[in-house]
Amino acid sequence: MTAIRTLVSVPELEALRTRGDVLVVDARFDLSDPGKGERDHAAGHIPGAPYAHLDRDLSDAGKQGFGRHPLPTDATFSAALARWGWRPGLDVVVYDDANGALAAARLWWLLRLAGHDRVAVLDGGFAAWRAAGMPLETGAMERDATTVQVVLDRGDVVWYDELERRLADRDVLLLDARGEPRYRGDVEPIDPVAGHVPGAVNRPFSDNLAADGRFKAADDLRREFGRLLAGLDAREVVHMCGSGVTACHNLLAMEHAGLGGSRVFAPSWSGWISDPGRPVATGP
């Protein structure tokens, strides 16, 4: 099997597990109930899969002004990887129960920032695994820890200064992965201000998915993103969402479609509005 990069199917994951040289990670999370993913993991998970908690392992809640899910420190992310038994060169497959959006694509992106690109998201997630009648394991998952020290490439992340400059220069396509009502500012169930960054274009992450919860075919995604790009290079695309989590879903979809090089504005909407001097737009 060739090196994994974006998505794997249930049969492909089972083949990797049979080979025995893969780390499967459970990244299920519920924004309204932060403990639910961990409880669900204990109730049943893919055999051998440790649990990755969005708030504790994939974020640093101690940072102010960088949104609801700031990037984790290098030490925090390294400790999580060590606890999961990760080592360089090991294939990693991440899954959740939100079609990759919470928080499998986030972990996929962080591993890439750490210089590890042998990582993919399970297409269809936990639901696809269960629907295929595959085995489950219950209880806490303990793996043999490794010694890990990684550094996240923060230079490959878009921050405020770059985004504001590029928006002013009109040389960026900023794609907002939130649903249309939140983008328009009709509703805002999470953040204190409704609306979107002026100039951002709405591309709900759900548009990446077929009716069965799996990602659309790569050719279909390439056509859809191509219409948004309108001749721009994929490297001119920056992704955002509410807090830098579902934005990774659009990044993953573009990479799966062969449109490589786009990046994530990590603070996203919740970070943007942390400064009341930044402009806010509403409407379509």
Q: Which residues are catalytic?
A: 241
Q: How far apart are CA 186 and CA 78, in angstroms?
A: 40
Q: How far apart are CA 94 and CA 52, in angstroms?
A: 9
**Cα dihedral 231/7/94/204 (nearest 10):** 40
Q: How far apart are CA 8 and CA 121, in angstroms?
A: 6
Q: What tokens appear for 280 in the block? A: 């806010």
Q: What tokens appear for 263 in the block? A: 């990046």
Q: How far apart are CA 257 and CA 224, in angstroms?
A: 10
In contact, 85 and 146? CB cutoff 8 Å: yes
Peptide bond into 145 cis (omega under 30): no
The letter for the amino acid at 193 is: V
